Amino acid sequence: MSDHLLEVRDLSVDFSTREGTVQAVRGLSLDLAPRETVGIVGESGSGKSTVALAILGLLPRNATVSGSVRSGDTELTGLPERALAKVRGSTIAYIPQDPLTSLNPAYTIGWQVAEAIWAKGLDSKRGAHRRALELLETVGIPRAAQQMDRYPHEFSGGMRQRVAIAIAMANNPRIMIADEPTTALDVTIQAQVLDALRAAREETHASLILITHDLGIVAGMADRVMVMYAGKPVETAPTDEVFYRSRMPYTLGLLGSLPRLDDERRGPLRPIPGTPPSLLTLPSGCPFRPRCPVAFDRCVTEEPGLDPAGPDHRAACHLRTELEAGDTTLFAASWEDTTDQVGGDEVGIHGRSRSEVPHG
């Protein structure tokens, strides 16, 4: 057995639809060590949620999965639903984007947290109630004792998200998977929910897979980052390595769209010009090529593999070695060019100029 709590190997997920086959995830491998937090980052449609649902065994019927997802000695792909439900109730907890869909409107939040504790069969009813109160306090529900008797619809989005985190904790999981837990929330509330997630991580000692499209969130939470594009990981590295020594033009674009953390208004993200390819008909070569300011002929014919690009660092770019040389000045000029070509309101990928993007 390995040291990893979770080992994903060459995971692929296709969805069959009326229009054809959507290649949502294409060959993804991921290791999660005890107490490690991995951030999965990418634009909408890059396959992040599909990865989470594949690990949890919650994919819809039109999905075809290949590859392997192992937790300890257990291979999770192909496991019957009953066994998967058991894994979800013990080893792996899921924190969905919108807890309104997972919380039951008919029961008080105190009941729902306590129920998750009884379900494990470890506590008396009174013990479970007491533990539920503790958990709600841990995730920062103010006046938790009174609030326990209220119903989900009486809570704000941020408070509901904390309840979902408390329920995840109730199972005393070894792994938590949070899928965009703060996306729908405003910045102040986001920070509070992230604090709740940190508290949950501290108390359970669980590892965390944190899915987000916001690199700013990953910076403060994750040990490692996996950047996804068009269903594939295109860069994986320790968080600092990604921020200071990215070897992948797409990641550099995302970094440019980082909202300034000192900017109160924190306006909308500035998108990378262009859109991701359709996963029904992927172009030949590198899927980022049509949007990439440094693409050259090889990128048209050959999709780059996720290859070594530094210590504990992999990147899917034919130019990763050139980028490793730290020559971001040339690169900077190219981004400006692309921006000019695209024109319009999408004033480029850079909230700040390229030269300000940290490089090591």
CB 42 within 8 A of CB 52: no
The SS3 call for residue 69 is strand
Interaction between residue 42 and ligand ATP (CB under 6 A): yes
Instruction: Give per-residue burial for 58-67: e unless 16+ CB within 10 Å, then b.
Output: bbeeebebeb
Interaction between residue 26 and ligand ATP (CB under 6 A): no
Between residues 15 and 94, which has the closer beta carbon with respect to ligand ATP? 15
Which of 5, 11, 22, 222 binds ligand ATP (CB under 6 A)? It is: 22
* Interacting partner of 284 out of Mg ion, ligand ATP, none (Cβ under 5 to 8 A depending on kind): none
Enumerate the H helices of the chain as residue ranges: 48-56, 81-90, 109-118, 125-138, 144-147, 157-170, 187-204, 215-221, 239-244, 249-256, 297-301, 320-324, 328-342
* Interacting partner of 15 out of Mg ion, ligand ATP, none (Cβ under 5 to 8 A depending on kind): ligand ATP
The SS3 call for residue 21 is strand
Q: How many residues of this chain interact with Mg ion, rule: CB under 5 A?
A: 1
Which of 49, 138, 171, 192 binds Mg ion (CB under 5 A)? It is: 49
The SS3 call for residue 38 is strand
* Interacting partner of 47 out of ligand ATP, Mg ion, none (Cβ under 5 to 8 A depending on kind): ligand ATP
Q: Which residues contact 339 (CB under 8 A, 6 or more apart)?
A: 273, 347, 348, 349, 350
* Interacting partner of 45 out of ligand ATP, Mg ion, none (Cβ under 5 to 8 A depending on kind): ligand ATP
Q: How many residues of this chain interact with ligand ATP, rule: CB under 6 A?
A: 16
Q: Going along 240-316, which residue ranges are E strands?
A: 307-310, 313-315
Range in contact with Mg ion (rule: CB under 5 A) among 18-26, 45-53, 152-160, 292-300 = 45-53
Range in contact with ligand ATP (rule: CB under 6 A) among 17-25, 86-94, 166-174, 291-299 = 17-25
* Interacting partner of 46 out of ligand ATP, Mg ion, none (Cβ under 5 to 8 A depending on kind): ligand ATP
CA distance 227 to 279: 17
CB 349 within 8 A of CB 273: yes
Interaction between residue 91 and ligand ATP (CB under 6 A): no
Instruction: Give per-residue burial for 229-240: e unless 16+ CB within 10 Å, then b.
Output: bbbbbbbbbbbe
Interaction between residue 279 and ligand ATP (CB under 6 A): yes
Neighbours of 106 (CB within 10 A): 9
Which of 2, 10, 34, 62 binds ligand ATP (CB under 6 A)? It is: 62
Interaction between residue 38 and ligand ATP (CB under 6 A): no
* Interacting partner of 22 out of ligand ATP, Mg ion, none (Cβ under 5 to 8 A depending on kind): ligand ATP
* Interacting partner of 50 out of ligand ATP, Mg ion, none (Cβ under 5 to 8 A depending on kind): ligand ATP
Range in contact with ligand ATP (rule: CB under 6 A) among 14-22, 65-73, 87-95, 258-266 = 14-22
As measured in angstroms, the least distance from the Cβ of 96 to ligand ATP is 11
Interaction between residue 19 and ligand ATP (CB under 6 A): no
Residue nearest to Mg ion (CB): 49
CA distance 117 to 132: 8
Range in contact with Mg ion (rule: CB under 5 A) among 48-56, 200-208, 229-237, 347-355 = 48-56
State which H helix or E strand residue 178 sits in: strand 175-179
Map the footprint of ligand ATP across residues 239-278, applying CB under 6 A. none
CA distance 160 to 103: 8
Between residues 13 and 113, which has the closer beta carbon with respect to ligand ATP? 13
For the chain, give me the number of helices (H) and strands (E)? Answer: 13, 12
CA distance 41 to 6: 19
List residues binding Mg ion (CB under 5 A). 49
List residues binding ligand ATP (CB under 6 A). 15, 17, 22, 24, 42, 44-50, 60, 62, 213, 279
